[in-house]
Amino acid sequence: MKQNISKTIALLAAMLISGSMWAQTITKSVEAISEAKELKIVVGENKITDNGGARGTDTEGPKMILSKPDEAERIALTLDIGSSKGAALTTGIKFSGVIDDASGVKQLVLQSDAINSKELTIVKGQFDERIAFPVGKHTVKLIATDMLGNATIKTVNFEVVKEVVPELRRPNLYVLSIGISKFQYSISKELIKAGESGFTNLEYAHADAQALAEEFKKQEGVLYNRVQTKVIINEQATRKGILDGLNWLLSNISEGDVAIITISSHAFQLYGESYLMTYNAQLSSLEADAYAFHEITKKVETLNKRKCKTVMFIDACHSGNLLAEGSKGATNINIEDAVNDLNSNEKGVLMLLSSTGSQNSWEHADWKHGAFTYAMLEAMQQGKGDIDKDYILSYDELQLYVKERVKNLTGGKQHPMQGNFKTGIARFPVCVIKDKP
């Protein structure tokens, strides 16, 4: 029986090879394996295929058009020497093009002496991948194989060159953070409720100042070259102490640097002038011991003349006849007009206020901070408010998040706002978010 099958196969093969008309009419394939099981012969559609490769009508490899990289192309591998590791900023050399074959493409392999062989992914007749190559001249072979074993080889030459860019100059940041929880002449909440004129101690204003300074310090080597902080809290925050802090800013900052000022305290008003309450200030002697906001304005104007960007975060009530428990107090105060003097300068002042002109600013034991600072820390530490998910929290993103978060935390009692200002700062990055959400 086996001999008969072998004879039949041999006859059919001979007919095909000789161009017999019988082979032209065969529509049903017959397969047989010889006793040695080394030769596989397929009869049908004018094709004979053995283990050695393709035979018959399809003897060409896949058609391939390479669009990238171009022949003899010099590809710049840009290195940032200002980064800590000098890491490459490119993601690799792009290999892209189209490929097609009547019998179907089996695989496309990239071969080079510089890297290990890599099979490229083909999707709907197209390939598009980036592959890392070291600096130097390279000859790469792209080997495409079809389902019948036919191959096409395309060779491409290119050179990867190192293009060094100047070191990125990061500005320095100077942070003056003021927070006053304990006041020399504060009175008890009971006396306030009984109708006494005065103000109570706060619980977390000093913690606000410390936490914000620590958070901005984390940006050293990230957004900024150096970050220097000066924290003034409680008994340090006399009128002289605050003046010394502002002078510290002026004596250290240079053109192109950034200044951030945070203030958390009580605020009061006298004869239309708004005052930041200092540690040793009394309501009866605000002009002598408190710090007038217009004096802070003058100092910041000097920063503007040095072409520095300045951002202020002020957490103090703007108005309110009654001192509510758990809030930063004020008496008929409206510091908006006073601080808006800062914002008329187009050289760059941004300001975010903790509440509107008729509201108190709140703190709570659950937060261990004022609501304003608590929301800021959430945004900076956890990436909340990073709308575009680029892990860089901009001032615009921060103020949008803080406004909504503080409103929710306080049950609608407090609404942060921006001053009415003009600024030349189109986009100000507050921080790079290290703990990515």
- Give the residue carrying structure tokens 């510089």: 114
Q: What is the pTM of this model?
A: 0.58
* Stretch among 75-84, 86-95, 140-149, 402-411 having the lowest mean pLDDT: 75-84
**378 in Cβ contact with 415 (< 8 Å):** no
How do residues 329-353 score in pLDDT, each as one tens digit?
A: 443 333 333 233 323 343 567 777 7
Per-residue confidence (pLDDT) for residue 226, from 0 to 100: 94
Specify the amino acid at residue 152. T
How do residues 92-146 score in pLDDT, each as one tens digit?
A: 788 999 999 989 999 999 999 888 899 999 999 999 998 888 888 889 999 999 9
**292 in Cβ contact with 241 (< 8 Å):** no
* Position 406 pLDDT exceeds 90: no
CA proximity to 106, closest of 53, 40, 47: 53
Structural domains of the chain, with CATH: 2-43 (no CATH), 63-165 (2.60.40.10), 173-432 (3.40.50.1460)
Per-residue confidence (pLDDT) for residue 80, from 0 to 100: 37
CB atoms within 10 A of CB 268: 22
How do residues 171-225 score in pLDDT, each as one tens digit?
A: 899 999 999 999 999 888 888 777 787 788 999 999 999 999 999 999 998 888 8
Structure tokens that stand for 73 in this block: 């192309």
Per-residue confidence (pLDDT) for residue 359, from 0 to 100: 61
For residue 197, give the 3-state DSSP assignment. Answer: coil
Instruction: Check residues 20 and 245 and name the one with the higher pLDDT.
Output: 245
**365 in Cβ contact with 203 (< 8 Å):** yes
CA proximity to 395, closest of 332, 287, 303, 310: 310
Run of H or E residues at 260: strand 258-264
Structure tokens that stand for 398 in this block: 């921060």
Per-residue confidence (pLDDT) for residue 108, from 0 to 100: 95
* Stretch among 163-167, 208-212, 420-424 having the lowest mean pLDDT: 420-424
Mean pLDDT of the chain: 74
In this prediction, residues 256-279 reach a mean pLDDT of 87
Per-residue confidence (pLDDT) for residue 236, from 0 to 100: 97
Residue 25's contacts (CB-CB under 8 Å, 6 or more residues apart) are: none
CB atoms within 10 A of CB 166: 8
Residue 328 to residues 252, 318, 343, 346: CA-CA distances in angstroms?
32, 9, 24, 31
Structure tokens that stand for 261 in this block: 């000022």
Per-residue confidence (pLDDT) for residue 75, from 0 to 100: 55
Angle between helices 371-382 and 205-217 (to 10 degrees): 20
How do residues 358-405 score in pLDDT, each as one tens digit?
A: 566 677 788 889 889 999 999 999 888 888 888 888 888 998 998 999
Q: Distance between CA atoms of 261 and 292, rounded to whole angstroms? A: 15
User: If pLDDT is split at 50, 70 and 90, which confidence band does 164 have?
Assistant: low
Q: Distance between CA atoms of 179 and 183, rounded to whole angstroms? A: 11
Residue 362's contacts (CB-CB under 8 Å, 6 or more residues apart) are: 326, 327, 328, 370, 371, 409, 410, 413, 414
User: DSSP state, 220?
Assistant: B
